[in-house]
Amino acid sequence: MKSAETSEQSQADLDTISLHNTLAERSGDNSTSSFRAAVRLQSGVGDAAPSSATNRLIVEMIARMPAGGEYRASSESIRKLESAIKKEGSHLVVDAALAKPSFCSSATYLVFVSALEEMNRRRQIQFEEGVAEKLLVTGQRDGFGVWGRWNANGPGTARLFVELHLGRNFTSIEQAQAGDFLKIFWNDQIGVKEFGHSVIYLGHGPNSEGNEVVRYWSSNKRGGYGRAEVPRSKIKRMLFSRLDHPEGINQIRNGLKPDEYLASMLIRSSTPEEMKKMVGIPASAISD
């Protein structure tokens, strides 16, 4: 059920929120057409093998996700996402097929909550009272609640991970494994002027032409839900988040304080140094 604050938002407000936060796929040279041509849909060939049980589960959840559908950043997509995640007692019922059209952060969030619920069902973790409700999407603004962090500009997912101690954040692709959540930045901006993509990392390496590519799953402008690969040269910055401690999600049972840093990413820019500090990455850490 939506909060009073959310129910008072107009459709135009929701359109603005979703358009700010769905992180349009554009390259650093602002050549949208050339970038789309560089992104290729692909199969599972060349995926890196996940080494942790949680990452293996995340990859399993990807296999259960629907394929295709339209990519669209709109209030309709937000409403469809809301309808795709329901609460039944202390459990979540996730029907991702209802979330079409979709966008990148909605796709990765569906995998995130699906993985948590699967672990909850298997009793590998156990949702405490109030947790399932806090994972619902109810139009939360940037920096508010779980979805309002996940969907925010800048390091939304990474901020959630460091706040709840869900796992570590890092920037080196050499440390990555399939099933890591990944924020791709297509340009040098972080925050209000950024262009980026919320994805789940699958691997990297040379393609059939010998060019280095990064492989991932998300909702993509070409084809909606599915796997894709992009030349590594098109990526300006990467921020990985690994779900090492899913039990940390129970810290949301009493709610989360507004994240002023993420809320401010709608109106200002951040620096790489500030972002690293906000997501718990030492300034001396090796970056990609």
pLDDT, tens digit, 9 for 90 and up, residues 154-213: 999 999 999 999 999 999 999 999 999 999 999 999 999 999 999 999 999 999 899 999
pLDDT at 22 (0 to 100): 44
E-only strand ranges, the chain:
40-41, 85-88, 91-94, 169-170, 181-185, 196-206, 212-220, 224-231, 237-241
Residue 248: pLDDT band by 50, 70, 90 thresholds?
very high
Provide the β-strand partners of residue 212.
206
Averaged over 70-83, what is the pLDDT?
95
Domain boundaries, the chain: 7-278
pLDDT at 222 (0 to 100): 85
Asked whether the bond before 155 is cis by omega within 30 degrees of 0, the reply is: no
What percent of the chain has pLDDT above 70?
Answer: 83
User: Please, is 46 exposed, middle or buried when counting C-beta atoms within 10 Å of its C-beta (0-12, 13-18, 19+)?
Assistant: middle
Residue 286: pLDDT band by 50, 70, 90 thresholds?
low
pTM metric for this prediction: 0.86
Residue 284: pLDDT band by 50, 70, 90 thresholds?
confident
pLDDT at position 17 over 50: no
What would the pLDDT profile of 213-236 be if each residue is shown by its tens digit? Answer: 999 999 999 899 999 999 999 999
Residue 37: pLDDT band by 50, 70, 90 thresholds?
very low
Q: 159 is written with which tokens?
A: 């901020």
